[in-house]
Structure 1
Amino acid sequence: MFGSSHYLQVQGVAMGTKCAPAYANLYLGGWERELFDPVHSTPYLSKVISWYRYIDDILLFWSGTKDELVLFVQHLTQNAFNLKFTMECSQSQINFLDLQISLHPNGQIHTALYRKPSSGNTILHASSAHPKPLLRSIPFSQYLRIKRNCTLEEEFLQAAQELYSRLLDRGYSHSLLKKAFNKAKKLNRKDLVFSDKLPDTRQPIRLITQYSNQHTQIKHILNQFWPLLTADPTISKYVKTYPDVTYRRSPSLRDRLIKSHHSIDTSHAPTATGTYQCGKCDICAFVTNSRTVTLPNGDIHTIRHRVTCATVGVVYLAQCQCGSYYVGKTKRPFQIRIRDHIKPLYKNTTTTAINRHIAAQHNFDPHAILFSALEHVPPHARGGSIDTRLLQLETKWIHILHATSSPGLNEHISFKPFL
């Protein structure tokens, strides 16, 4: 007897989100581990001949009666994982994923292509803005799938005829479909199902770019000039194989016309960018009041945002009157982080690299240092942490300004935020 089981829910995760398949695999894997644990074994498991699962669909071969199978599914539903199951069973034929599995009178198991009655014609249209090689490969890959799924030749021919009509409706030419069909028909099904092909272990150079109408020109340029690189005695040691060109999806009209969330109205916000004193706190005296920042290397930096003492999410530069400097970041209000550096000086104590320097070189004088904003990371419109982005920008500025070398006061640099 065949049995096909489907779960109804996994802790409320919606199948369709990017993480859903991986989450469902892990979740049901944990449930399976507990189910097949000898400590919690059930007598019904002895009736299971074979058990196969693909994400949330389960196929099992059952040696018991139908009543025992119903009891077994009821047992499966009683779990601590909040999983609920529905079941379909048959002694002769069952549908599982895109396969129709049937038991032949001679005792062999046969498979054929299965399409749900509600399935639409969703094959990519031939006029879609995708690379031409990709579009030309779709008919052959679809015929190949049918060849692999169908045990009997007559079932393959029937499914191929239905596929031909669907592909024709999607704009594919008769000549392309005929060529793809003949190519798939000549293949041996056993070689497709039981392939002994060794995995490709090479590590090709991969060129990843956004797809555009100029993709043929890009390929032409590579074909024309790549031999020059491989002919060079020095470069050829590192450049040997022709690169694989991979295209990212280009922005669609939907991407260009629809935003994922409402933008914040900034029509009444101050337009002047730079670092400014808020004029309401005791920290203003330690904050620069300028549109630009003169960096330790002499460059002039203009921040793209308006930052005051009360701004949250700031990468800052602390500059001492003696030329020493420090790069830091804070996800709290700017004034609170500055107070962490300044307040201990009034008590003749040190807690940070900045106040240790001022204590040793300027006799605890807090007015020896000024703070300026280098970057501002606004809070995400949908919430969430900005820590990683702040750490990345802090690392960038430590690297640019060589802040770990004298007269810089930063003690270390870590590129871990980029990993």
Structure 2
Amino acid sequence: MLLFKHILYTSPLDNEHCDSIFHLVELCLRQNYFTFENVFYRMEDGLGMGNPLSQSFAEIFMSFFERKLVFDNMNNPYRENILFRFRYVDDVIVCWTGDRDELNSFLCWLNSLHLNINFTMELEEDSEIPFLDLKLKRLNNRISFSIYRKPTQTDHIISFSSSHHLSQRLSGLRFLVHRLFTTPLSSEDFQSELNIIRHMAVRNGYDVGWVDALVRKEDIKRLNNEASILQQHTPNSKYMRLSYIGPLSTRLGNVFHNHDIRVAYKSPNTLYNLLVHNKDSVPLLQRSGVYKLTCGDPNCNVVYIGRTGRTLQQRISEHLRSQGMDNCDKSIFGRHLRLNNHPFDPEKDARIIHPSGFGLRQSVLEEIEIFCHIDDVSMVNLNSLSTHVFPRLFDVLKREPNVEGIVTSED
């Protein structure tokens, strides 16, 4: 945080904005606790996985470490041995002009600069060295490139028989073809890599014609002017996500496409979602969203549909607070429990129908659920309804003789 604070306060922003940004970022980074088997843990060092700020702050630190502590450090005794260097996240390639002993000494010095930074080193063999997904080779005072694959890498991509939209199935081949054209390969290496891509396609159920079609498309893109390609995309394009369940989703996507809406397909059921559950689930009462309360009396069919941006436990406590106060009618559900002396167990009689944060989506989901429960919903907060989905729903509910409404402040 000291590094970020220094960068922030030396920026053109005034101190008032710097103070606000710094305290907000500090608050976000301190939310680095998690639960495991009902025990709370807090990270004492490092950045939390999944925090949207972690990647940015890791890059800020690595950039500072590389620039200030190593290559711009006047006390670095090995500066003259570094001909050039390039870094991608935490992978660094360096061209070294000294001998092997000096290189080992440089690595020891590098790892002594920070307690939590520990670099490992890989040296070139036969004038070749891998870096990321490339293999670099020194050849006649120049560097040639080829595609590098780890020994453990498999040839698996999304199978052609998989229940994915065609654009998703072709994404793996599309990436490989795009890399083929954007890497400066020799004609021999280009043809060798193209043969590997064709082999991978056949092994995963694709016809070689798909690869040839992607190659032609990529070749045409290279021949076109890049500026004209950018002009074809309108800045006001609309996007939407659609679950892919087969050809029906494709036909539905074509309908949206005819109305200038671009569709991104997603797979609702994956092996990961079905098999991997490595996080403790959030307790029901600690969630927010559209909820349903049911009267605990077995002979009573009263149901309440509501929404909350806070935890369901907080919202239920407000309903029950009205139950215990004779002159408090802030909750029609609590008033019902009080007047009829009916029981209510939050653990059994309450559930979240749609987990979501407070906002338009939650409001729309609430109206949909009220519409779906129109025959059995007997209580609803009329003030929380709008005209997002069903413009006449509000008037319909007011005319229903079995629906009791009360105007309260929105949750």
TM-score, L = length of structure 1: 0.54
Amino acid at match of 1:209: L
Distance 1:302 1:169, change over 3 A: closer
The more displaced of 161-170 and 254-263 is 254-263
Structure label with greater radius of gyration: 1
Query: Number of matched residues?
Result: 299
Q: For residues 117-174 of structure 1, give each alpha carbon's deviation from its aligned partner in whole angstroms, at most 9, with x where no partner exists.
A: 1111121111111112343454344223123224211111111112211211111113
For 1:325, the equivalent position in structure 2 comes to 330
| Cross-structure match for 1:110 | 144
Other-structure match for 1:251: 269
Equivalent residue, structure 2, for 1:203: 236
Match of 1:29 in 2: 60
CA contact (8 A) 1:313 1:377 kept: no
Contact 2:295 2:342 in 1 (8 A): no
**Contact 1:126–1:135 under 8 Å retained in 2:** yes
Shift of the 393–203 alpha-carbon distance from structure 1 to 2, 3 Å rule, reads closer
Q: Which residue of 2 aligns with 1:139?
A: 173
> 2:184 & 2:344 partners in 1: Cα distance?
66
- Paired with 1:148 and 1:255, the residues of 2 have a C-alpha distance of 35
What secondary structure does 1:43 align onto? coil
Map 1:7-406 onto structure 2 (within 5 A).
23=54, 26-27=57-58, 29-37=60-68, 41-90=75-124, 92-105=127-140, 107-136=141-170, 138-184=172-218, 198=230, 202-213=235-246, 214-222=248-256, 226=259, 242-252=260-270, 255-256=273-274, 273-274=294-295, 301=304, 313-315=314-316, 316-317=318-319, 318=322, 325=330, 400=384
Q: Percent sequence identity over matched residues?
A: 18
Question: Which amino acid in 1 is paired with 2:304?
Answer: H
CA contact (8 A) 1:113 1:150 kept: no
Give, as a single letter, the amino acid of the residue that structure 1 aligns with 2:265.
Y
Question: Tell me, which stretches of 5 or more residues in structure 1 are unaligned?
Answer: 1-10, 227-241, 265-271, 277-288, 294-299, 304-310, 329-333, 335-366, 381-385, 415-419
Q: Name the TM-score, length of structure 2 as normaliser.
A: 0.55
Match of 1:338 in 2: none
Residues 10-69 of structure 1, C-alpha deviations (whole Å, 9 max, x = no match): x7889xx6559x736633531441453267852324543433222332222334433332
1:198 Cα shift?
A: 5.0
Inter-partner Cα distance in structure 2 for 1:249 and 1:101: 38
Deviation at 1:222, TM superposition (A): 3.9
Higher relative contact order (CA 8 A, sep 6+): 1
Distance 1:243 1:109 in 2: 45
Distance in 2 of aligned mates of 1:42 and 1:387: 53
Counterpart amino acid of 1:149?
T
Cα distance 1:62–1:313, how it changes in 2: closer, same or farther (>3 A)? same
Deviation at 1:375, TM superposition (A): 7.7
The RMSD of aligned alpha carbons is 5.2
Q: Which residue is 1:331 aligned to?
A: none
More helix by share: 2
Q: CA deviation at 1:195?
A: 6.7
Whole-Å separation in 2 of the counterparts to 1:161 and 1:409: 68
